[in-house]
Amino acid sequence: MTALAMAPGTLADARALVGTTIAVLEGADPVDPAMIRHHLEAFEWDYGPAADEDAARAAGYRTRVAPAAMYMTFGMPSYWAPGAPTIAPLTLAPLAFGRVPAPGSAMLATGTSVEFHEPMYVGDRLTATWVLAAVTPKRLAIGDGVFLDFEITYRNQDGAAVAVERTSTFRYDPAPGAAA
């Protein structure tokens, strides 16, 4: 099982952060034609505006675009950088879910929705701004905990919103006999 580093805290600590920015994460790489090609190949997806300049222009884009579903690919920070310590095996993506000080020793995602806005053009650089939108305590069969709702806005280098993701997680202490 992989572990996510989680900031310890109380329900009051988490509630105090509602509406605040938890993290601003810079994407490690610009929107890149090679990464787009790999994505299209993996899904055997014949999507002209991503694969061909002329098809992109014919569809009303100024140049090639990445499929909207790649927003996380280009908004994800680096896992590791030269000179940094070695990362542990099975390390999770460096996302901000665990940065909220809240009760609970385990966490799972409970839902995600995404709205897409501006296209991602080759060369764009994305930044993800994480805001804690809500904190709701709840007792479930798996344990007592809190739902943490995040709104993550992905913007390009010009500040235009590319995507807005809303993700809910449940952070909890496993009940005796419940799987973590």
Walking along the chain (180 residues) 10 residues at a time, the average pLDDT comes out as 77 98 96 95 94 95 95 90 80 81 93 97 97 97 96 98 98 82
The per-residue pLDDT for 89 is 72
Residue pair 128/75 in contact by the 8 Å Cβ criterion: yes
The residue range of the domain holding 28 is 11-174
Given this model, what pLDDT does residue 1 score? 43
pLDDT at 92: 67
Answer whether residue 3 is part of any domain.
no
Burial of 141 (0-12, 13-18, 19+ CB in 10 A): exposed
What's the domain count of the chain?
1
- Note whether residue 5 is domain-resident: no
What's the pLDDT score for residue 180? 58
Residue 164 lies in a domain: yes
